[in-house]
Amino acid sequence: MEAILEARHVSKIFHSGRMPVVALEDVGMRIFAGECVALMGPSGSGKSTLLSILGLISRPTAGEVLVRGKPVGVDERSRARLRNQFFGYVHQEFAMIEDESVESNVVIPLQYADIRLKRPERRRKVQQVLEQVNLEWALHKKAWELSGGERQRVAIARALVNEPMVILADEPTAALDGTSAQEIVQLFLAIRERGASVLVATHDERVARKCDRVLRLVDGHLSEGLI
C-alpha cells in the first residue's frame, strides 16, 4: 500500500544564537489514506516542527518529504499549490483571523485554488462546510465573537473546504474544555470516515486513543508507540 504522505530521513536544525538546536533528527514516517495518526511527545520534542515540514510550511535541513510517493520539489509555487490542494491545517495558534468574518476565514483556501470559483459558488461551498461543523449560523459573525470551541470548528471547516487528502492538526484541543474537545475529536473521526487522513499532534491521551496509530517524538527522534 502506497503512503500518501512520507518523511524520509528528515532533520531540522535551527540556528538561533550561538548553539545550533537540533529539532528533528533522521525522522522517517508514513501516513496512509484514511488513517488517523496521533503524534505525541513532550513540549519542545519537535511535533510542531515535524508537522510544519510535513505540511510543506517549512523545509527540512536534510531529508525529503514525499506526497503520494513523489518527492516534493523546492519550487515555492509548486509547494504552495500542494499545500492548497493536498493539506488542511488546524493549528492552535493560527486558528483564525480575528477581525474578519467566519466566511472570510473559511474561504481562504478557495482563494488560492487553481480552479477559481465565482463568488456565489465559493459562498455555497463555505456554507456547506460550515453546516458540517454545525456553524452555518455563524457565516457573518466576526471570529472574535465566537467561543474557543467554535473557532476551532471554524478552523476545521476551513481545513475541509478544499477537500484535502490530509488534515494536519497541531494541539487542536489544547485550549478547549472537555465537551468542545470531544466535538473536535468527533469531527476528525468523521473526516477519516470520508477517506482523508488525519495527523494530529497532541498531549491529550483521550484524543490519541481515538486514532489508529500513535507516534512518539522525543528530542527529535521518532518511534512507534502504544498508549
Partner 1 sequence: MLDEIRGGFSVALRRWPVMFTLAGLITIAAAVLSLALVDVLSQVAVLKGGRQLRERHAVFFTPYYPPGGEVSRVGEDVVQDVMDLIDQQRAYAAIVYNMALDDPDFAGGYPVLVLFGDVVPELFPELHLCDPAPCAMRGARVPEGVVVSVTIGGEEIPVEKALPRHATFFDVNVAGLPLDHRIVVRALTRMIPRLAPIEREELLTRVVLLDPPESTVDTFVSGAAQGKLFLVPHSVSVEQPQRFREIMMRSAMYIVGILAFLVLALMAFVSSARLVIQKERRALKIRQMYGATPLHLSLRIGGFLAAVILIPEMIVLFLLQRFLVLADAPAPNTPLWVMPCLVVTFAYLWFSLTREVLGKEGLGGW
Torsion from C-alpha of 83, 120, 104, 109, nearest 10 degrees: 0
| Pick 81 or 210: Cβ nearer partner 1 | 81
Which residue ranges make up the site for partner 1 (CB under 8 A)?
A: 14, 16, 21, 23, 48-53, 55, 57-58, 76-77, 80-81, 83-85, 87, 89, 91, 93-94, 96-97, 99-100, 105, 108-109, 111-113, 158, 162, 170
Are 215 and 28 contacting, i.e. CB atoms less than 8 angstroms apart? no
Q: Which residue has the cell 460550515?
A: 130
| Pick 52 or 173: Cβ nearer partner 1 | 52
| Closest approach of partner 1 to the CB of residue 172, in Å | 13
| Pick 114 or 226: Cβ nearer partner 1 | 114
d(CA 136, CA 83): 26
| Closest approach of partner 1 to the CB of residue 157, in Å | 13
The partner residues of 90 in beta bridges, in order of sequence, read: 169
| Pick 94 or 137: Cβ nearer partner 1 | 94
Q: Which residue has the cell 512520507?
A: 6
| Pick 42 or 193: Cβ nearer partner 1 | 42
d(CA 13, CA 59): 10
- The dihedrals phi and psi of 135, each to the nearest 5 degrees, come to -130, 25
| Closest approach of partner 1 to the CB of residue 108, in Å | 5
| Closest approach of partner 1 to the CB of residue 84, in Å | 3
Are 41 and 217 contacting, i.e. CB atoms less than 8 angstroms apart? yes
| Closest approach of partner 1 to the CB of residue 175, in Å | 15
> What's the length of the chain?
227
Looking at residue 116, the DSSP 8-state letter turns out to be -
Are 200 and 207 contacting, i.e. CB atoms less than 8 angstroms apart? yes
d(CA 185, CA 214): 15
| Closest approach of partner 1 to the CB of residue 77, in Å | 5
| Pick 55 or 149: Cβ nearer partner 1 | 55
